[in-house]
Chains A and B, each alone.
Chain A
Amino acid sequence: MSRTHLSLVREPRSEVAATSMLSLKESSPDETATTSMVGSDFADSWWKKICCRFDEIDKLPPGWDGYDADRIAKSTMIFSSLLLGNVYDEAKRLSFPSINPMSNGSIIIEWRTKSHEITVEVNNTNDVDLLIESLATGATSQFHITSDFSKISDVLEESIRPVHAIA
């Protein structure tokens, strides 16, 4: 169910995250470390880190970037959370992504794997830019996404596969 159009079906966990985000306490440094985890509590831990991160971002005051950035819109954070819910099956097999606010009001979500640098910029609801860079060739591809996150799932899945040397 995770590769469906968001406007039609949402993963239950995504909704939980969206409704519970912005209410969790701040995370400890250990909780925000970038690690790839396994185990039965993994999903809860992964989502707690997501919620803690969005909670931090939600608390940013106007001008948080040292210039004149606005606060990040809640709709952008919620849509980011829904997006992460839709790619969770692939994302859980990678290191925890970097999730950052940007001066233009977007949320940037980044994965760096052995084969790809994957950048997702959530500008607002149904307005997402996906940038994929192959680390082997430097080739880049860019896509605009509204509610179908299958392209993100696909590239995350591809980046999980072992890298084989070309003779």
Chain B
Amino acid sequence: MKVVGAKPDDALADDEVVIRRVPSLQLRPRADGKREVSKGSFAASSKAHDPEEGMSVDRVAVLTAMGIDPADPAQFLPEFEVLMKLRVRDLHAQGLWVVPRTKPGPAHCNVLGVTSNKRKTVFALSEFLRRPEDVVKAGEL
């Protein structure tokens, strides 16, 4: 895992927003009938794919410019019922720099420094951009 230091020159502006897709397979069924998102959904890519080992996210401003409204329930279905929103300002405040990496797509960005220790922090910062009614965050009623 790349150790994150000073803010990279190409880091996104603080007022931007990114989203993390949550595969429906990662939603844990609970005894009360709800499904929950856990911190395991916030993992970096493998080093084999990404030497930077960043956590992949999508830049909302670019999606919007491409005519894609991520809040539209028709987008990203059926594999991704849940989209989590992260404010770049919040990530940067934790030293988790968000940088554009336009492969595999123009909206793609990496969040740097998402180690297993930081995963819970990222999870706590995340909010639902869209979710089915039965989905909650782990630890919530």
How many A-B pairs have beta carbons closer than 8 Å: the answer is 91
Contacts of B48 in A (CB 8 A): 70, 105
Contacts of A136 in B (CB 8 A): none
Contacts of A65 in B (CB 8 A): 21, 23, 56
A119–chain B nearest beta-carbon distance, Å? 8
Assess whether A142 is interfacial by the CB under 8 Å rule: yes
Alpha-carbon gap, A60 to B30, bound state (A): 22
A110 touching B104, Cβ below 8 Å: no
Residues of A in contact (CB 8 Å), total 35
A56 touching B25, Cβ below 8 Å: yes
Interface size range of chain B in the complex: 20 to 34
Q: Tell me the interface secondary structure of chain B in the complex.
A: loop
B43 touching A106, Cβ below 8 Å: yes
Alpha-carbon gap, A129 to B50, bound state (A): 21
Contacts of B104 in A (CB 8 A): 67-68
B115–chain A nearest beta-carbon distance, Å? 10
Assess whether A29 is interfacial by the CB under 8 Å rule: yes
A103 touching B45, Cβ below 8 Å: yes
Option from A105, A112, A121 in Cβ contact (under 8 Å) with B138: A112
B56 touching A103, Cβ below 8 Å: yes
Contacts of A70 in B (CB 8 A): 46, 48-49
Assess whether A45 is interfacial by the CB under 8 Å rule: no
A13–chain B nearest beta-carbon distance, Å? 24
A82–chain B nearest beta-carbon distance, Å? 20
A110 touching B38, Cβ below 8 Å: yes
A80–chain B nearest beta-carbon distance, Å? 13
Option from B40, B46, B50 in Cβ contact (under 8 Å) with A100: B40
* The 5 residue pairs across chains A and B that have the minimum distance between CB atoms: A67-B56, A66-B21, A108-B40, A102-B43, A98-B28
